Amino acid sequence: MYPTDRTVASEEAGRRGVESAPATATTPPVAEPVVAADLRLDASAVAYRLYDVGYEIHLEQASRLFGASDPDRARPVRGEARAIAIPNLPVTLRLGPHSVTTPRGPLDVEASARLFDFGVVSLRFEVRLAEAIGWQEYCALGSALDVVHLAPAFDTLLDKVMQRIGPAVDRPLPSPVTEDYLVLRIDGLRDATGGAIAPRQLRDQDLAALVLDEQRELSAVARRELLPHAFSYYADDLVLLSWDRALVIEPDVSNTDVEYVLEFANAQLLELRLFDDILDRELRRVGARVAAARARSSLLFGRRFASLLAELQSLVADTTELVERAENAFRLTDDVYLARVYSAALEIFRGRTWRAGIDRKLRFLSDTYSMLNAESQAARAEALEVVITLLIVAELLLGIFRH
């Protein structure tokens, strides 16, 4: 059951530096587990879809174009957020109520957008439940908010946003690569009598149904593998992460810091995936382009690769600069709770793997640039030798004919 698994996971994660409880905290006594089907939840949900729309978004200009005289540039509010450095705070735009179509029928949502200076627009549909909801019904809501059902509404909303902020986007070039995420937020857990329930009383199989969207009961091995990223700071909160969704149990309604850092992690992941895709396409083209350049004759020796070298240099420089800017947009200066949630999210998203792939492809392109540049230099040297030889021969012939 969840309390036992959670205690073991906490002890192991604490030794690895992953568990997020304060150093002075003690493990609470194991509480009696509850069946989630009997619970009532004060809950909401936020579905995200992130797009890369260009090289850079000028945030102040975008706010003015949207008509926001006092743009919302929120940052994490916890005291420990001082350990998080965000050089250019993203801008949040309120887009008002919308109706979206889901398998549950039409659903009223509150739409908003968050703009990141490195070219990412994060669109959000928030479902605010006016009344308490049962656990099974909440699981069904999570399934209904799958991006497969919401993608058309997100795409339409992006077009409307871009019509208003388009001039603030530098080098606009919408990308087919998108990133989707769902945050399930629970502000309160109550049993049938109205009594408060602690998150640690929830069972793993109930959490799996919500966080992993799995209706059948998982084996103990599967639960250990799929539910390892659990974080708690207080006795009444819980963060549980997976690849495409997260569960946040937080009684403080105004505290949305976890959602904030998860959105940042998804924005950075989108940039990594985007440039990995761009580099993949360039690598598929570069061999054919080198062969075509070699086959092309040129009156200027060594100039046949000029345009290709310029494009490779620009691609490597732009990719390196933008990936670095995206990664440096959110920097951690201490090992605090939010930092650990953020780092765990990047681990689940395989951020290091994506970055390693980008670095490997950039090295290949840089090596190709160096090889072609050396070949061009050699061709120029050979051409210079031919010219010098011809000049010497011409001078000798002139000398002979003069005599």
Rounded to whole angstroms, the Cα distance separating 146 from 168 reads 31
DSSP 72: B
Whether pLDDT at 288 is above 90: no
Rounded to whole angstroms, the Cα distance separating 352 from 345 reads 11
Label residue 168 exposed, middle or buried (CB < 10 Å: 0-12, 13-18, 19+): buried
Instruction: Using pLDDT thresholds of 50, 70 and 90, give the confidence band for residue 372.
Output: low
Percent of the chain with pLDDT over 90: 34
Whether pLDDT at 168 is above 50: yes
**Residue of 67 and 180 predicted with greater confidence:** 180
pLDDT at residue 4, rounded to an integer: 36
Q: Report whether 9 contacts 228 (CB < 8 A).
A: yes
Q: Report whether 88 contacts 117 (CB < 8 A).
A: yes
Rounded mean pLDDT, 234-243: 91
Out of 20-24, 286-290, 308-312, 377-381, which region has the weakest mean confidence (pLDDT)?
20-24
pLDDT at residue 92, rounded to an integer: 93
Out of 68-72, 88-92, 350-354, which region has the weakest mean confidence (pLDDT)?
68-72
pLDDT at residue 27, rounded to an integer: 47
Whether pLDDT at 388 is above 50: yes
pLDDT at residue 15, rounded to an integer: 34
Instruction: Using pLDDT thresholds of 50, 70 and 90, give the confidence band for residue 148.
Output: confident
Q: Are strands 178-190 and 245-249 parallel, antiparallel or unpaired?
A: parallel
Rounded mean pLDDT, 222-245: 86
Mean pLDDT of the chain, nearest integer: 81
Rounded to whole angstroms, the Cα distance separating 55 from 259 reads 25
Whether pLDDT at 263 is above 70: yes
Phi and psi dihedrals of 50, rounded to 5?
A: -110, 140
Instruction: Using pLDDT thresholds of 50, 70 and 90, give the confidence band for residue 193.
Output: confident
Whether pLDDT at 335 is above 70: no
For 55, what's the count of Cα atoms within 13 Å in the CB-facing half-sphere? 8
- Of how many residues is the chain composed? 403
pLDDT digits (tens, 9 = 90+) for 36-62: 888 999 999 999 999 999 989 999 999
Whether pLDDT at 10 is above 60: no
pLDDT at residue 275, rounded to an integer: 86
Rounded mean pLDDT, 144-170: 91
Q: Report whether 141 contacts 104 (CB < 8 A).
A: yes
Out of 17-26, 112-121, 173-182, which region has the weakest mean confidence (pLDDT)?
17-26
- Taking each helix axis from N to C end, the angle separating 59-66 and 147-165, rounded to the nearest 10 degrees, works out to 90
pLDDT digits (tens, 9 = 90+) for 96-142: 999 998 888 889 999 999 999 999 999 999 999 989 999 999 999 99
Whether pLDDT at 3 is above 60: no
Which of 153, 33, 77, 170 shows the shortest CA–CA distance to 115?
170
Instruction: Using pLDDT thresholds of 50, 70 and 90, give the confidence band for residue 1.
Output: very low
**Residue of 263 and 78 predicted with greater confidence:** 263
DSSP 202: S
Q: Where would I find the beta strands (DSSP E) of 33-167?
A: 40-52, 54-57, 84-85, 91-102, 105-116, 120-128, 133-134
The shares of helix, strand and coil residues in the chain, as percent rounded to the nearest 5, are 50, 20, 25
Rounded to whole angstroms, the Cα distance separating 93 from 68 reads 8
Whether pLDDT at 369 is above 50: yes
